[in-house]
């Protein structure tokens, strides 16, 4: 695999440490930097993602390029969003060294993924990333909202976060991430990743989350209004919906109850028992009960 006409060479432990040494890089917890040092793991992520030679892939937090190189083995194009200027500057050079034949299909964007407003080139069709653990859920939701062209994705996140994203109603870990992600996609757990494939090894386990885009619910309410109701419902998780949602209708428990009944939801239920469509109906009923109450 070393001749110029072959696919990319993937990074092993020695390559990762060598690239880090060039930058005098000390991986920081603040940015959730844990670099994958196992080629089998990045190939598995690419395989599980289901991407093909037709896909334009967006990757968030490429780091030193371990997953990027594996994506370039398969994808038509890869756009990597990197917030660290040192890493972003080194990445094109790494791609040129390890994947010379694929380098023209790669682009790096120096930006904060939470604040990015557009992606250069053809519309991305898939998101595949080892997401920084401290911002994984907001980054995923931002990308899903920003890029309706995304058809599917696979992200590696902290194991507990993977559980939350893929949780179903009634589960202890079901909550805001589960419901908001379901606005955009069908989400499922897609496996676990051991700690020893990273450098430095994190002190938490990792999990894969796969998702497939689906149409958002048909509703007269906006996404922001529905998400506002979800946030409020889970602000005091142990309280009933009648109690938590009254703040949206001038503190009136009676009006909150009337909206819940109109939406076909038990006022004594808790948020953790409801699916997205329930929250959509509740939002519509609250809007009818009190104009602009949830905006």
> Is 280:259 a contact under the CB 8 Å cutoff?
no
194 marked as part of a ligand binding site = no
Cα–Cα distance for residue pair 174/236, rounded to 1 Å: 14
For the record, the structure tokens of 272 come out as 């953790």
Cα–Cα distance for residue pair 96/263, rounded to 1 Å: 57
130 marked as part of a ligand binding site = yes
Place of tokens 């980054």: 139
61 marked as part of a ligand binding site = yes
- What are residue 170's phi and psi, to 5 degrees? 95, -20
Strands 106-110 and 77-82: parallel
34 marked as part of a ligand binding site = yes
40 marked as part of a ligand binding site = no
127's enclosing H/E stretch is strand 126-130
134 marked as part of a ligand binding site = no
255's enclosing H/E stretch is helix 253-262
Binding positions: 34, 36, 61, 82, 112, 130
Binding positions for S-adenosyl-L-methionine: 34, 36, 61, 82, 112, 130
């Amino acid at each position: 695999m070393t001749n110029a006409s072959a696919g990319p060479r993937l990074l092993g432990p020695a390559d990762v440490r060598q690239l880090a040494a060039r930058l005098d890089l000390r991986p920081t917890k603040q940015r959730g930097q844990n670099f994958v040092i196992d080629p089998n793991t990045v190939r598995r992520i690419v395989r599980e993602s289901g991407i093909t030679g037709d896909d334009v892939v967006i990757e968030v937090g490429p780091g030193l390029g371990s997953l990027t190189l594996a994506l370039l083995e398969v994808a038509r194009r890869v756009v990597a969003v990197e917030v660290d200027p040192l890493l972003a500057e080194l990445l094109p050079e790494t791609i040129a060294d390890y994947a010379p034949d694929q380098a023209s299909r790669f682009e790096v964007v120096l930006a904060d993924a939470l604040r990015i407003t557009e992606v250069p080139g053809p519309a991305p069709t898939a998101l595949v990333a080892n997401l920084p653990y401290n911002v994984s859920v907001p980054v995923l939701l931002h990308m899903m909202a920003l890029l309706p062209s995304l058809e599917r994705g696979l992200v590696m996140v902290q194991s507990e976060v993977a559980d939350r994203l893929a949780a179903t109603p009634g589960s202890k870990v079901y909550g805001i991430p589960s419901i908001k992600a379901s606005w955009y996609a069908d989400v499922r757990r897609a496996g676990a990743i051991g700690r020893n494939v990273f450098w430095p090894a994190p002190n938490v386990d990792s999990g894969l989350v796969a998702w497939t885009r689906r149409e958002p619910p048909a509703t007269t309410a906006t996404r922001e209004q529905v998400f506002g109701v979800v946030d409020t419902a889970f602000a005091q998780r142990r309280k009933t919906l009648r109690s938590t949602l009254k703040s949206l209708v001038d503190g009136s428990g009676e009006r909150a109850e009337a909206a819940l009944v109109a939406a076909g939801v038990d006022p004594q239920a808790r948020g953790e028992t409801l699916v997205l469509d329930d929250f959509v109906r509740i939002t519509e009923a609250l809007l009818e009960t009190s104009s602009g109450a949830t905006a």
